Structure 1
Amino acid sequence: MSPEPIPAPYSLGVLLRLAHQHFASAVDEVLHQCGFGDIRPHHANVFSFVPNEGIQVSELTVKAGVRKQSMAQAVEELEKLGYVERRRHPTDKRARLVFLTERGKQIRPLAMATGKRVEEQWAQLLGERDLEVLRSALQVLLGKLQGKDVGSQSR
């Protein structure tokens, strides 16, 4: 017996949130199984956007689209847990950059591999074409919301 479909009256926002929860739960489960059970969903805002050359908290805030206070708290938590470190900016002595530690660098590949498996599962459920239509539509929408014309580029 197959599960009941999600009722049509749900808003797009609810559907996106539910799909995101499915995706995030799969990543959380793998991280927990691999010994990273102290990572919380809001920490993804840090791991997703820290480049190798480091980044200021204010820039992380913009990239993740969250409040500065929320980002600062997530960075502080991850620093205490040993996933990130803050270092002086090489050219601006007032600024500090956030870097992933060796432990922190282990998270992204696990999350990305899990995300790929979730997308493969979704492609099996929806069909590859429909999943790519969904991806393209979301890329175009987000690009336009950010004032960019991204067309229908693939990742």
Structure 2
Amino acid sequence: MAYGDLPGHMSMAFRAAMDRVHAKLAELGYGDVRPAHGFVFQLLSHTNGSTAVEIAAHLGVTKQAATQLLAELETKGYIRREGHPLDRRARLVSLTERGWHCVSAVVNEWRAIEDDWAALVGAERLDVVRDAVCAIVADASSKGQVTMKPLW
């Protein structure tokens, strides 16, 4: 790999992992999940619920676009929207049991991917990669918030 190719190769490794995750989800009956849904799931799995405004900010889209995505996820049974306990104008979005099962399937597949990578390059080498990526993310975070969100 030539100098300067690493960011592109990291992107391709991520894409290969995402393709594998979505193939596994389809196999498990979650074939209606799109990559954009995963970014909503990622946020909701780390909060006690979020509003459409918070989800829009996380995704880097308008509230209207987030609301449309949430309507799709609600129709598919992955999320529920309920009255917000502190703000009557807002609705609190949270994962349903189906949503949590999908998140669990993703976590399990991420772990399987890491296991396969360790078998491919060796656990110690993968630990070095993990440490390096964590340092890169920490550095980027120190310069502003870094979230896992789609590149639209």
Structure 1 match to 2:8: 14
CA positional deviation for 1:106: 0.9
1:74-153 mapped onto 2 (5 Å cutoff): 74-147=69-142
Unpaired runs of 5+ in structure 1?
1-6, 149-155
Q: Which amino acid aligns with 2:124?
A: R
TM-score (norm 1): 0.79
Corresponding residue SS for 1:48: helix
CA positional deviation for 1:65: 5.2
Q: Which amino acid aligns with 1:132?
A: D
The structure-2 alpha-carbon separation of the partners of 1:115 and 1:73, relative to structure 1 and needing over 3 Å to count, comes to: same
Higher relative contact order (CA 8 A, sep 6+): 2
Q: Which amino acid aligns with 1:90?
A: P
| Percent identity of paired positions between Structure 1 and Structure 2 | 32
CA positional deviation for 1:123: 0.7
- Alignment deviations for residues 107-152 of structure 1 (CA, whole Å, 9 cap, x no partner): 011111111111000011111122112122222221221227xxxx
**What is the distance in 2 between the residues matched to 1:9 and 1:87?**
51
**In the alignment, is the contact (CA less than 8 A) between 1:89 and 1:95 conserved in 2?**
yes
**In the alignment, is the contact (CA less than 8 A) between 1:46 and 1:74 conserved in 2?**
no
- Alignment deviations for residues 71-127 of structure 1 (CA, whole Å, 9 cap, x no partner): 444323211211111111101112221111121111011111111111000011111
The structure-2 alpha-carbon separation of the partners of 1:60 and 1:114, relative to structure 1 and needing over 3 Å to count, comes to: same
RMSD: 2.2
Structure 1 match to 2:36: 42
**What is the distance in 1 between the residues matched to 2:99 and 2:36?**
15
The structure-2 alpha-carbon separation of the partners of 1:23 and 1:92, relative to structure 1 and needing over 3 Å to count, comes to: same
Q: Which amino acid aligns with 2:2?
A: A
**What is the distance in 2 between the residues matched to 1:20 and 1:49?**
19
